[in-house]
Structure 1
Amino acid sequence: MESIMKLESLISEVTEIVTAIDEVEFNLKLTPDKWSKKEILGHLCDSAVNNHIRFVKILVSDYPIAIQGYAQNDWVRVNDYQNRYDQSDVLALWQQVNRMILRVMQRADSSDFQKKCVLPDKTEVTLEWLFNDYVDHLIHHLEQIEL
């Protein structure tokens, strides 16, 4: 599956990109209500944690799993990536959770990718769609970190 290879590549890419960013720039908040690059990566950690659980639930279930959303801004606030993590710590967390996801998805059978789940708006999608969406979301935020 193409998205598995893409995630594998992104783990290396994100590592190179984040380690090349000066810590002052990584921590910079342009406005109090906008996330810093560190907080964006923290958000991607939260996304990875939530999606890992979703992927595993779908893989071990024989019936469609209801996907619940999460309060993204609250997760970033409660985890306090801006003040409680340094650049290397938030990167290491992101790397490890995404390696967990990668290992789970690599073990999945091709038929597993057709398992169904139901989004909060009641749309039914497959695990393949959800995983592709996860990788696309990651790329979207990576572009914000690269700016």
Structure 2
Amino acid sequence: MEDLIKEYALGYAMLRDAIEGLTEEELRYKPAPDKWSIHQILIHVTDSEISSTSRLKKVLAEDEPLLISFDQDAWANNLGYDLMDREQYLLLFKLLRSSMQTILDNLTSEQSERVGVYVDQKRFTFKQLTEFRVEHVRDHLDQIERVKKAYQENQLTY
């Protein structure tokens, strides 16, 4: 769990590093009409973090709480992600992650095995949910790299 907590704490820095030096054009580039720009990815990652931070806390505070996901495409399509302030969202991500640090630093092995239950009856431990958070950032870092590459390839064709 220790390595997991360390990587969780690095999420913000990893996102920042991934976008370092990018122009607004690069940040807003969509590799296809149905694909997200890096800007949209960053907004999504933060929206997901808002939801997941609540779920993590519920699992630690309540006995086998009901956990609810959100429809990421509906949020991206209907909340005006292109209009959102990226810097504000990145700061919010940073604050959400740092707000969990004291809890994570004092987590007991018993707490890491506490369970939350999704509406489809799938059960996940706190540790598994934290692993999902780390993996979520990793997956979107990979996606950011793919968008950066697509942008560069698109520039070569012009």
Q: What's the TM-score, normalizing by structure 1?
A: 0.86
CA root-mean-square deviation: 1.8
Percent identity over paired residues: 24
CA contact (8 A) 1:59 1:108 kept: no
Residue 64 of structure 1 is matched in structure 2 by: 64
* Structure 2 unaligned blocks of 5 or more: 147-158
SS of the residue corresponding to residue 6 of structure 1 reads helix
CA contact (8 A) 1:41 1:94 kept: no
Structure 1 residue 7: deviation in Å? 1.4
Residue 107 of structure 2 is matched in structure 1 by: 108
| Deviating 4+ runs (over 6 angstroms) | none
CA contact (8 A) 2:116 2:123 kept: yes
SS of the residue corresponding to residue 116 of structure 2 reads strand
Residue 98 of structure 1 is matched in structure 2 by: 97
Alignment of 1:1-147 (within 5 A): 1=1, 2-61=3-62, 63-85=63-85, 87-147=86-146
Cα distance between partner residues in 1 of 2:77 and 2:94: 21
SS of the residue corresponding to residue 20 of structure 2 reads helix
How many aligned residue pairs are there?
145
Cα distance between partner residues in 2 of 1:96 and 1:140: 21
Q: Which shifted more, 106-115 or 46-55?
A: 106-115
- Which protein has the larger Cα radius of gyration, Structure 1 or Structure 2? 2
Inter-CA distance 102–18: structure 2 relative to 1 (3 Å threshold): farther
CA contact (8 A) 1:42 1:94 kept: no
SS of the residue corresponding to residue 39 of structure 1 reads helix
Inter-CA distance 47–104: structure 2 relative to 1 (3 Å threshold): farther
Cα distance between partner residues in 2 of 1:120 and 1:69: 9
Structure 1 residue 109: deviation in Å? 2.3
Inter-CA distance 101–75: structure 2 relative to 1 (3 Å threshold): farther
Deviations 1:7-51 (A, max 9, x none): 122322221222332221111123332211111111110110001
Q: What's the TM-score, normalizing by structure 2?
A: 0.81
* Structure 1 unaligned blocks of 5 or more: none
SS of the residue corresponding to residue 124 of structure 2 reads strand
Inter-CA distance 77–105: structure 2 relative to 1 (3 Å threshold): farther
CA contact (8 A) 1:46 1:76 kept: no
Q: Which shifted more, 23-32 or 89-98?
A: 89-98
